[in-house]
Chains A and B, each alone.
Chain A
C-alpha cells in the first residue's frame, strides 16, 4: 500500500482505492489462512480413526493388513534376538528393559559419532564429533528430544546420520509408544502384575507402524525434491561471484546433499524433529514444495492424534480417546489463533521505520523476519504451534525471530509438559497422568470417588502423577536459574535483556520436555550447555517414564470397579473442560513468573517503545 501511496501522494480517490486493495488483500489473506488451516485439520482428522484403530490392532495382537508381509519378519527377528514373545513383564522388568535398551543405544550413538572419521560413508572426510557434542546428541536422539547443538551438514557423516541418528528416531519413538501401551493395558487388565513384553511392543511399533509409514512418506518426499543420495557435496559455480573482506574472489559454492528423505520422514512421524541440515525444514532440500510442507505438517501430529483413538479402542470405550483428543485440540487451536494474530501484527520497531508490513496481494505481511517467504505467516505459525505442542522440534521458521507473544505461545506449549498432542506415546501418557490428576481433584472438590476407567486412584498413583507433572518444571526453572548465574551460561546468549532470558528459558523448556526446537539465538554447542542440557533431556525422559510405568504397575494390580452414581464420567464435555483447566493452571502457575521476565516484559517494552 505504501509503495502505491508514494507514487500517488495526495490523491484522495486513489487513496480510497488503495485502501480498498489492502483491505481486499487482508480479507483474501484471512480466507487463505482459514482455508489452509481447515484443509490441514480435515485431512488430519480423517486419518485419526483408521490409523488409531490400526495401531490398536497392532498392540492388541489382532490381525492386520500387513500381517502376511511383516509377520514372518517379526517372528524371524524374535528367533534371532532370542525373544520369547509369549512371556510378559512386570512394570519393574518393563522399565528395566527400557532403561537397559536406552543405555546401550546412547553408548552406540556416542561411539559412532566419536569414530565417524574411521568409518565408511563419510565422503566429506568429516572429523570425529567432539566428546561433549557427542554426549549431548546421543542423549538427545535416544530421549526423542533431537535437540541439535551441531550443524548436520558440517558435522555428521552420512553413516552417523543413518546408523546413529535415524535408527534412534525409530527406536525412541517406538519406546515411547511401548510405554504408553503398557499404561493402557493397566486400565484394561485387573489383578495382574503383567503389562506386556517391552521387546515385543518395541518391535511391533517399529515394523508395523513406523517403518511402513516412513517408507511411504520418504518416497513421496523424494518425489517432491527432498534429496536422497550418497554422492559427495556438489561444488557449483556462483551465479554472482563475490569477494571476501580480504579481497579474495569467491566463484564457487559447496552444496550439501545426502540421504535426507529417509531421515526427514521419520523425523516428523516419530515426533523427533532433528533436521538433516542445520536449517531443518526451512531448507529447500528438506522441505522443497507446498505439498511437502503440508505432508510434513500432517506427519507431525498424525501419530500423537491417532494414538488417542488407539487408547479409546484398547480400553473398550472410544469416547475416552475422543475426549482426550478434544482437550488437546481445543488448547491447540486457541494457541494457534493467538500466535497467528501476534505474527500478523508485524514488528512495531519496523513500523516506526516506515516499513510496509501490511497484508496485501503483493506480500503476506506481518512479522516475516526469520520466516520463509514461500511459507508466509500461516504455514510458519501453524508449523511452530504444531512442532511445539507435539514435542517434535523441527522448524520451518526461526522461533527466535517471532514476536514476543508468538515466541511465548511456542514456549508455553512446550512447558505444558508436552501433553497437547506431545511426543509419540509420551504425549498421551502425560495426558493420561493429567487425567488421573483431574479425577482426583474433581473428586476432592465434589466428593466423588477418584477413579479413572474403573480403576480407583489412590495415594501412590497421585504421588507418582505429581512427580510426572512437577519434575520437568523443576528441571526447566532450576536449569535456567543456574545457567544465568554462571558466566558459561550467559556468554552464548546473543540478545541482551528479556529476549536473551527467553533464549535460555526456551532451551531448558525444550530439553526437559524432550521437544528439541530452539530459540536459535543461543550458541549452545559449548561443553557447559551440552552437559547441562544433556542432563535435562535425560531427566525429562527417563525420570518421567519410571513413575508412569509405576502407575501402570499399580493400576494393573487393582480390580476394575463398575461405574456408579459416584463415578465422574470422563468422556463428557465437562471432563474435557476440567482436564484443560488442570493442564493450563499447572502450566500457568509454574511458568508465569519466568515468562514475565522473558516474553511478557519484552512485549510490554515493544508496545511502549
Chain B
C-alpha cells in the first residue's frame, strides 16, 4: 500500500513542477 500513496505523492509533485514550468513560460511569452 505504501507504494500507491508514495506514487500519488510523486505524481502531485510532478504535476506541480509542470505547473511551475507552465507559469514560467507564460511569463516569458508575455
Whole-angstrom CA separation of A131 from B9 in the bound complex: 12
**CB pair B12 A131 closer than 8 Å:** no
Binary contact track B1-23/A, C-beta < 8 Å → 1, others 0: 11011101100110011011001
- Can you give 14 A-B contacts (C-beta < 8 A)? A95-B20, A96-B20, A103-B9, A107-B9, A110-B6, A110-B9, A114-B2, A131-B4, A535-B12, A543-B16, A546-B20, A546-B23, A547-B23, A553-B27
Partner of B5, one of A99, A135, A460: A135
Which B residues lie at the A interface, using CB under 8 A?
1-2, 4-6, 8-9, 12-13, 16-17, 19-20, 23-24, 26-27, 30
Contact B9 A106 (CB under 8 A): yes
Shortest CB–CB separation between residue A551 and chain B, in angstroms? 10
B interface footprint on A441-483 (CB within 8 Å = 1, 0 otherwise): 0000000000000000011100110000000000000000000
> How far is A133 from B23 in the complex, measured between Cα atoms in Å?
32
User: How many angstroms between the C-alpha atoms of A550 and B19 in the bound complex?
Assistant: 11
Supposing A114-B2, A543-B19, A546-B20 touch, asked if A460 and B27 sit within 8 A by C-beta, the answer is: yes
Contact A103 B23 (CB under 8 A): no
A356 within 8 A of B: no
Give the residues from 112 to 126 in chain A that come closer than 8 angstroms, CB to CB, to chain B. Answer: 114
A78 at the interface (CB under 8 A from B): no
What secondary structure prevails in chain B residues at the interface with A? helix
The residue of chain B having its C-beta at the shortest distance from the C-beta of A554 within the complex is: B27
Residue from B4, B17, B20, B27 having most chain A Cβ neighbours under 10 A: B20
**Of B9, B12, B19, B26, which contacts A463 at CB under 8 A?**
B26
Q: Does chain B have a CB within 8 A of A531?
A: yes
Chain A residues positioned under 8 Å from B9 (CB to CB): 103, 106-107, 110, 135, 138-139
**Contact partners of A168 in chain B: CB under 8 A:** none
Cα–Cα distance between A397 and B21 once the two chains are bound (Å): 43
CB-defined contacts of A542 to chain B, threshold 8 Å: 16
* Structural contact, A131 and B1, CB atoms closer than 8 A: yes
- Tell me, yes or no, whether A440 is within 8 Å of chain B by CB: no
Contact in complex: B30, A459 (CB < 8 Å): yes
* 4 nearest A-B residue pairs (beta carbon): A135-B5, A131-B1, A550-B23, A131-B5
